[in-house]
Structure 1
């Protein structure tokens, strides 16, 4: 089994992004940690290294062009996705990674330590209990619920000009009918992934 370096490098280029050798090394080290911890901590159902690279790492990086602001919270981060890949590419941005699963936050904490990421904070807890009103420029999430539910749960975390960036499968036409905020929705192509993917950027105001 190869390291996946060529697959990762090629996928990043296809996404229109640039990565340094150090960033590639850090992403591959992160994947190795996921593989190492996965059996004990049930981080992901995906075990094949190339599939982890495509469905988790490249999928996470596909949202990078939509991220703005200096303070971002990844709600429902799970194994640190998309937060850790984004933090590796955006070292000047401060990331909070939130999850209610203590096993997963323990893993993410260890990953942050081993990868020496200085711009990542891990919080174990539920989003509705996080006392950080208006603290973030953006909430990012690989959508864990309906858009309306995610908005209701996370909107208080955003400053007035803040945005919710939700990653979904196919464009949720029905859900969008219920949203009164201004929004942008864009289909994205993740290299090597046939399933439909889209990103929604919903303004708080």
Structure 2
């Protein structure tokens, strides 16, 4: 019953969002959700336990920032249970994704997802952002329910290219966090996200170094 419900919720949600994913991509998304639901019982990967809202709050919510992913290699910090990184990687198989998290249980889950779903475009790193030393900085860094914007730019600013941008997913518009951004950083744009079946507000804040208008 759950899988048929998820399948119809995903199909209908993608249609509302105007996203055309193949049947294989949709099956991978549902397989990921099954893994997340199974592992969550032991590993506490996400606070969402109600199977009736998982498609909306985990898959569709993650995919809602898809139009703003423009890089060929995206870093997802505080990747946790793989949101938004894994759904985005399934939707964009030609784009490389690096998923970074300091929690060993969560990165073990992410490694299992990569293995079982055959995600050749995903790399998982267990560690803290401050200790990460990529070969080259990232053009885009995503985060979802990870930390305040001030911490995000402080911890991860060195990982971002000079003309790069953070894709910070938030619930309500975080006026206090925006006001607390340190000098040299700005909210380049903000977008209200319409996620089918989701209660409450959703926002994407695109944060960049001051003067970056690319």
Distance in 2 between residues matched to 1:39 and 1:84, nearest whole Å: 19
Structure 2 equivalent of residue 35 of structure 1: 37
Equivalent residues in 2 for 1:113-124, closer than 5 Å: 113-124=115-126
TM-score (ref. length: structure 1):
0.95
Structure 1 contact 133–157 (Cα < 8 Å) conserved: no
Contact preservation (8 Å) 2:178, 2:187: no
Aligned pairs for 1:1-205 within 5 A = 1-3=1-3, 4-132=6-134, 134-179=136-181, 180-204=185-209, 205=212
Q: Which ranges of 4 or more aligned residues in structure 1 deviate by more than 6 Å?
A: none
Q: Residue 143 of structure 1 contacts residue 150 of structure 1 at CA under 8 Å; is this kept in 2?
A: no
* Partner SS state of residue 166, structure 2: strand
Length-normalised TM-score, structure 2:
0.91
Residues 6-52 of structure 1 show CA distances to partners (whole Å, capped at 9, x for unaligned) of: 10011112122111100110001011111221112111222222311
Aligned length: 205
TM superposition shift of 1:153? 1.0
Instruction: Give the conservation status (yes or no) of the 8 Å contact 1:31–1:49.
Output: no
Say if 1:175 and 1:44 are closer, same or farther in 2 by CA, change over 3 A: closer
Q: CA deviation at 1:134?
A: 4.3
CA contact (8 A) 1:71 1:137 kept: yes
